[in-house]
Structure 1
Amino acid sequence: MKELKIWEEIEFPHDTIKSDYVEVGKYTYYAGAYNKGSFAEQSVRYLTEEPNRDKLIIGNFCSIATGVNFNLGGSERHLKEWISTFPFYYLFPDSGAHDGYFPKGDTVIGNDVWIGTDAIIMPGITVGDGAIIGARSVVTKDVEPYTIVGGIPAKTIKKRFSDTEIEKLLDISWWNFDIEDIKKLLPYITSPNIELFIEKASKIKTINEEKHD
């Protein structure tokens, strides 16, 4: 199969990531052409291999633009409630200074999510399936499935489809289909005719369920 030249500078982190705390689904790609370095080096910030750390979990078929920043820093160790926000514990660990770090929980990115250039995803955020994150947005709250958000902090711009259509898309979960079935659906996935896509994909889902009964 002939590959388009655009894929020459594309990384698939599912195949390259080497960390117990980062899980990336199949076909999800990082387009880091303008930020040289690997996905782990450029996009996964404050990643350590210490026990019981928060994880970054990304689904299948996500599009991650150059410069996207997944912040795994937990509380970031700088507490505004303290007299000083300086992280003294890490400079003088035996001094009795308190550690400001506490976990925020896993950062979870759903399937078929598009994250624009230089967007920042803060710790513990969940982004639903099919969502779109605008370029240079700072995401500080969870994002609902098939919702477009943007800005600093990111706010809802609009939903991509009706609530009924979103419910059907989430039930179908085409990103979990066998790749050969997905290929059959590509003429419909790459069109705005959601009714026809739901019809075709629902048939494939039913056939697959019947095979496993």
Structure 2
Amino acid sequence: MSSVAPLHSPRYDTARLQACGDDVFISANVEIRRPQLVRVGSHVAIDSGLYLTTAATIGDYTHLGPYLTVIGGAQSTLLVEDFVTIAAGSRLICGSDRFGGEGLTSVTVPEAFRDAVELGTIRCARFAGIGTNAVVLPNVTIGEGSVIGACALVTADTEPWTIYVGVPARPVKARPRAKMQEYARRLGYLIE
């Protein structure tokens, strides 16, 4: 029997989302700029301070920690698969100016005068984890079971079941998978 008291914090109005599963807690202290482009699975917790400007799909048994920033606008996407954790303070940059000097930088500048913009998708595959204050750049896939260490900078796709640290992020260790996959099977998920 658990002795942990249930949370009674104010909650975000999930009816604003495109879709939302069961057993979901989203803090009232979040800013989801385009809720009609956001789908949330079941057994999800999204803590205070999330700032989300992109389309997003959030899988089952997922936790998005406090003060997470996901930017890139309506033409960019965040895909978070099942059993993923993204820790406090991380920055997922799904779209950004390239800052190459081809034009002015800022979403407030008319498009004819803007620098080149990179828009895309960040995908966090099943069982992935992103440590606190990590930064992930546009068009990166965090591979299945891959973990990104605290304060790392991810500029390229990561290999499955590998731990990455540093700036830029580099692989340092393999991560075991059997127990996590077995637990997911026991929860009713098909795992290859």
TM-score (norm 1): 0.59
Correspondence for 1:87 among 81, 92, 105: 105
Q: Could you say which residue in structure 1 is the equivalent of 2:2? A: 2
Correspondence for 1:44 among 51, 67, 70: 70
Query: How far apart, in 1, do the equivalents of 2:36 and 2:3 lie?
Result: 29
Question: Cα deviations across residues 99-139 of structure 1 (Å, max 9, x unaligned)?
Answer: 52242x32110111121110011110001111110000010
8 Å CA contact 1:89–1:99 kept in 2: the answer is no
Q: How does 1:19-168 map to 2 (within 5 A)?
A: 19-20=36-37, 21-32=55-66, 35=67, 42-46=68-72, 48-49=73-74, 53-74=75-96, 76-80=97-101, 82=102, 86-87=104-105, 90-91=108-109, 93=110, 96-103=112-119, 105-161=120-176
Against the structure 1 CA distance between its residues 134 and 101, is the aligned structure 2 distance closer, same or farther, given a 3 Å change threshold? same
Against the structure 1 CA distance between its residues 136 and 8, is the aligned structure 2 distance closer, same or farther, given a 3 Å change threshold? farther
Q: CA RMSD in A?
A: 3.6
Q: Could you say which residue in structure 1 is the equivalent of 2:45? A: none
8 Å CA contact 2:125–2:142 kept in 1: the answer is yes
TM-score (norm 2): 0.64
What displacement does 1:87 show? Answer: 2.0
Structure 1: gaps (5+ residues): 36-41, 183-203, 207-213
Greater share of residues in helix: 1
Greater share of residues in strand: 2
- The DSSP-based 3-state class of the residue aligned with 1:156 is strand
Q: How does 1:186-201 map to 2 (within 5 A)?
A: none
Amino acid at match of 2:99: H
Query: How far apart, in 1, do the equivalents of 2:8 and 2:99 lie?
Result: 40
8 Å CA contact 1:30–1:63 kept in 2: the answer is yes
Q: Quick one: percent identity of the two aligned structures?
A: 25
- The DSSP-based 3-state class of the residue aligned with 1:57 is strand
Question: Who wins on radius of gyration, i.e. which is larger?
Answer: 1
What displacement does 1:89 show? Answer: 8.0
What is the aligned residue count?
155
Question: Cα deviations across residues 44-100 of structure 1 (Å, max 9, x unaligned)?
Answer: 123x23xxx1211011111211101111224x24225x3x6x327843x28x52552
Query: How far apart, in 2, do the equivalents of 1:70 and 1:136 lie?
Result: 12
